[in-house]
Amino acid sequence: MSAIADNRPGSAIDIAALRKRLAKGGETWRSLDEVAGTAEFRRFVEAEFPAIAERLPVKPNRRTLLKLMGASLSLAGLAACSRAESIVPYVSQPEILVPGKPVYYATTLSSDGFGVGAIVESHEGRPTKVEGNPDHPASRGATDAVMQAAVLTLFDPDRSRTPLKDGEPASYGDFLKDMAALVSRWTASQGQGGALLLDASTSPTLAAQIDTLRARYPRLKIYRHDPLTTPAAGEASRALYGSALTPIHHLDRAEVIFSLDADFLGEGPGRLAYARDFAARRRVRNPSDRMSRLYAVESTPTITGAAADHRLAIRPSAIETVAGGLNAALGGQAGASDSPIDQVWMAALLEDLKTAGRNALVIAGPQQSAFVHAATLAANAKLGALGNTVELIEPPDALQVDGDLGALCETIGDGVIDTVVALSANPLYTAPAGLDAHKAFSSLKLLVHHGLYRDETAFLAHWHVPAAHELESWGDIRAHDGTTSLVQPLIKPLYDGKTVHELLAVLSSRFEADPLSLVRQHWAALDDDAWKKALRGGIVPNTAAKPVSVSVPPDLGGLRPAAKAGNGIEIRFVADPWLRDGRLANASWLQELPRPLTKIVWGNAALISPATAERLKIDNGKIINVAVNGAEVDAPAWIVPGHPGETVTLSFGFGRKVGSVAALSEGYDGFHLRHGSEWFAAGAAITPRENSVRVITTQHHQAMERRAIVRHAALDAFRQNPDFVRKDAPPSPKESLNPDWRYDQEAWAMAIDLSACIGCTACVSACQAENNIAPVGPEECERGHEMHWLRVDRYYAGPVDAPETFFQPVPCMHCEKAPCEVVCPVNATVHTHDGLNAQVYNRCIGTRYCSQNCPYKVRRFNFLDHQSFDKDEAGPEQGVHNPNVSVRSRGVMEKCTYCVQRISAKRIQAQIENRDIADGEVVTACQQACPTHAITFGDLNRKDANVVREKSAPQNYALLEELNTRPRTTYLGRISNPNGKLARPGEATDG
């Protein structure tokens, strides 16, 4: 692991003292450092501009900043529904193209092999922004951070640009000649000695091509390497019902949900749809409204656990005991005597589940064992939930293969395989511990690699072929519920990349096959009208998988829990929420996006509990050695409240040095400790080292000194006191020296529902993509100079070992009595006729008075020129820029604008049509991306507007309203639905 030593004095945290202080509850806090008042925290609070006294570079480091450029404009093209064209000066302007007016196309993006529907905005043939497809079952109009970064990876200058033969540039024609010789050899031998290594995919066209290759080459072996695979659900259903089945959950029907280590709001191909359905049952506006209730036990903190009404943190090995006990109790049998769950807690859960009956739902984490999944299926069946809140379908990713990467390496070692074609996989990085993939692949006579980057596997390959980006590709892919959607290109391949379908066609002797014709051939049953309709709508109608009818299983199919874990630390492996298995490590937006719970950027850490840190005398940033099964890794420790004791969470996706942006990040490679496809390991040992390193986190930045920020109450308390947000809140002054404003047209405002916000940070990434917000790199992030216009603050309440968790998005408040406006010496921050606090960039002279006077700390200052390095030529980063938003330079203050460019576009359209702007017509980027509809935006002058209705809710409040800034952005206090029979430590009604 590469890390930079932190030479500042260490900040030791007295966990015992914090535990004693927080045990009485009633206090909301943001981090352990804040409660302890460490020097690190005070450094950020006391400096208006964090670390401003630290040495700044005289000028931007060109090499570092060039690595952060996310795009390349060269060779851009325009994609319509059937063809893509290179950009040339228009002789005859295309009919569909009006200069300056974007065109939108439906397509599908891949998420761990599954499809998520998208609508992509294109300016003159240049994709700039991704939105969710409202008609797609997996996105429902929402997006996440990874989807937003698709345009960034499209224009990544580090992408592979030309075929390489033995590491040297070569032509695609030369590659085809070598493949012709390979095809001839395979034809003669029926594929003997050859193997394909596939990545995760649900493409029907790919499956058909694989069947064609099997028929042509009977001895050809097909392997699949998916480092994030979770096969246990299929194994459980096969044991119970005789065939592999996949569960589909209907959270909109569920009244009581029990999560067994399932982060269904943040992980999995259906996460956006599940988040939408979950939030729909949590909206409370009147005391008579009902809410669903969520119980969760988990082995590492997740955003699903943060949303739970009752959460318990337990060791990974204890999940099976809980699952078995639940199933036994629902069947009228006695539970396990060694259950890690308090009996009162378990009794309350069982009562709630039985009362809900068919409207109850038990969800097992996909990484859990087959036994846990079998027990979960049995529990749902006994509750009557099968067929209602949970349905079983044939798995969309079913593809018959001959084994995984381990089986392939073993076959290579036996001399059976001498040629491997690796399609989009990177086994030399993601291979599990104990498997020497490098040795096995080095012995091959021919290794062909196909991928977006010249990654670890590509460096070893005899032939490397650049892959087409998914925004450059034709294809098809299935969603989590089986629905098939089409992938169509927004742009001609920048670097003449090839799709997987083209490479498979080459192996079938179709050397000049067109990618569109390959996909169109598979969907020949669709006539031209149906094909065009599927392209426009983004989905192929009537392709969702039909539910499979199953009965109550008489037992658990012979599945038994694993043996009890012995002494020692247990390891919980997780995929990084943004980088996944590391394939997105070169995306600077994702590197710099704070992780929801830890707020760590540009690296990863080993997450441990306060109790474990106290026992081993470990502070944040302390290097610890984690060893298990003969493998070890050094990683910086990070103490996470609510983490289970004697457990360490290790993440994948980091520790890569291939790719310029990836090399900038810090961290360790979690694959070094992982054996096989396991997600848990027992018997590990932690040994603290002598040194510490920096862990870059934003959790101390923009602190608001622990005032009444996030306000919350239980549902019963809300029913008794609907305006609980007023309790103990300072009164809002009425007098002001600032003038009152009149709004004769629109009066824009926003309301954010904290009950619906799950902290996924999709809004932050969407804001960055929409508004040309530059990444600044790890050094500037460490100083507190990140540029995000919107942040999601994470708060805790209650004891350090089991706190409640809250999220609060904080954009510019657009104050009526804006303290920033009165101090600007050049009138760069001004009030507009429709209620926006606008920033005029070409007036700003960088005094930063406005930021000093802002109590919300929502303004960002360009300390360095992150967007442009040579005034005489356009930089490659400009390809990803939204042309409707100006690009800011050094020395300029910037902030959230309520997406004023979108307001202006809708105003112009309404004026052309001689009408008023309709309610809901203007949608901000953060609002559009939000999977839970937590953000509402609209015109306060329209009394029937949704935003007016939200602001009239009794739990609506303004942030720091005692300062009399009168923000246009307000919040609806968070309401939870705990079981009154269970006490929740740390419960409070305000911060």
- pLDDT tens digit string along 179-200? 999 999 999 999 999 999 999 9
Q: How many folded domains does the chain comprise?
A: 2
At residue 730 the predicted structure's pLDDT band, cuts being 50, 70 and 90, is: confident
At residue 51 the predicted structure's pLDDT band, cuts being 50, 70 and 90, is: very low
Residue bearing tokens 């306000």: 711
**pLDDT at 609 > cutoff 90:** yes
Strand 293-298 versus strand 256-260 pairing type: parallel
Looking at residue 11, what is its pLDDT?
Answer: 55
Looking at residue 819, what is its pLDDT?
Answer: 93
CATH code of 380's domain: 3.40.228
Beta strands in 787-918 (DSSP E): 791-797, 804-810, 829-831, 837-839, 860-861, 893-894
Whether residue 516 lies inside any domain: the answer is: no
Strand 791-797 versus strand 804-810 pairing type: antiparallel
Residue type, 357: G
Taken as a whole, the chain contains a residue count of 991
With vertex at residue 973, the alpha carbon angle to CA 918 and CA 141, rounded to the nearest 5 degrees, is 45
Cβ-contact 405, 397 below 8 angstroms: no
Higher-pLDDT residue of 627 and 739 is 627
Residues 6+ apart with CB under 8 A from 991: 28, 706, 707, 708, 709, 710, 711, 795, 797
Whether residue 286 lies inside any domain: the answer is: yes
Residues 6+ apart with CB under 8 A from 882: 123, 128, 129, 769, 770, 771, 772, 901
Residue of 593, 580, 903, 604 lying closest to 773 (CA atoms):
593
Looking at residue 557, what is its pLDDT?
Answer: 80
Looking at residue 739, what is its pLDDT?
Answer: 77
Whether residue 23 lies inside any domain: the answer is: yes
Q: Is 235 exposed, middle or buried (0-12, 13-18, 19+ CB in 10 A)?
A: middle
Question: What percent of the chain shows pLDDT beyond 70?
Answer: 90
Q: What is the DSSP letter of 959?
A: T
**pLDDT at 870 > cutoff 60:** no
Cβ-contact 27, 13 below 8 angstroms: no
Higher-pLDDT residue of 410 and 30 is 410
Looking at residue 26, what is its pLDDT?
Answer: 65
| Mean pLDDT, rounded, of the chain | 89
Domain that holds residue 318: 246-393
At residue 68 the predicted structure's pLDDT band, cuts being 50, 70 and 90, is: very low
Write the CA distances from 402 to 214, 230, 296, 838, integer angstroms: 11, 17, 37, 60
Rounded-to-10 torsion of CA 458, 460, 462, 468: 0
**pLDDT at 984 > cutoff 90:** no
For the record, the structure tokens of 84 come out as 């893509």
d(CA 292, CA 361): 11
**pLDDT at 954 > cutoff 50:** yes
**pLDDT at 551 > cutoff 70:** yes
Looking at residue 18, what is its pLDDT?
Answer: 78
Residue of 709, 735, 749 lying closest to 857 (CA atoms):
709
Three-state DSSP state, 890: coil
Whether residue 330 lies inside any domain: the answer is: yes
**pLDDT at 546 > cutoff 90:** yes
Whether residue 39 lies inside any domain: the answer is: yes
Whether residue 429 lies inside any domain: the answer is: no
Q: Which of 364, 393, 422 is the last residue of a domain?
A: 393
Whether residue 69 lies inside any domain: the answer is: no
Looking at residue 72, what is its pLDDT?
Answer: 30
Cβ-contact 339, 322 below 8 angstroms: yes
Whether residue 678 lies inside any domain: the answer is: yes
At residue 70 the predicted structure's pLDDT band, cuts being 50, 70 and 90, is: very low
Q: Which of 641, 667, 692 is the last residue of a domain?
A: 692
CATH code of 683's domain: 2.40.40.20
Strand partners, 312: 297
> What is this structure's pTM?
0.92
* Digit-coded pLDDT (tens) for 198-253: 999 999 999 999 999 999 999 999 999 999 999 999 999 999 999 999 999 999 99
* Digit-coded pLDDT (tens) for 632-644: 999 999 999 999 9
Strand 419-423 versus strand 446-451 pairing type: parallel
d(CA 89, CA 68): 30
Cβ-contact 636, 834 below 8 angstroms: no
> What is the b/e burial string over 840-851, where b = at least 16 CB atoms within 10 angstroms of the residue's CB?
eeeebeeebbbb
Start-end of H helices in 427-467 = 427-430, 437-442, 456-460
Mean per-residue pLDDT for 132-147? Answer: 96
d(CA 381, CA 552): 5
Residue 116: phi and psi, rounded to 5, are: -130, 120
Looking at residue 854, what is its pLDDT?
Answer: 93
Strand 419-423 versus strand 221-224 pairing type: unpaired
At residue 125 the predicted structure's pLDDT band, cuts being 50, 70 and 90, is: confident
Write the CA distances from 421 to 223, 411, 668, 799, 840, integer angstroms: 10, 15, 29, 53, 55
Residue of 415, 409, 422 lying closest to 445 (CA atoms):
415
Q: Which of 692, 719, 748 is the last residue of a domain?
A: 692
Mean per-residue pLDDT for 284-310? Answer: 96
Q: Following DSSP, what letter does each residue of 170-215 receive, concatenated?
A: --HHHHHHHHHHHHHHHHHHTTTTEEEEE-S---HHHHHHHHHHHH
Residue of 508, 507, 452 lying closest to 149 (CA atoms):
452
Residues 6+ apart with CB under 8 A from 184: none
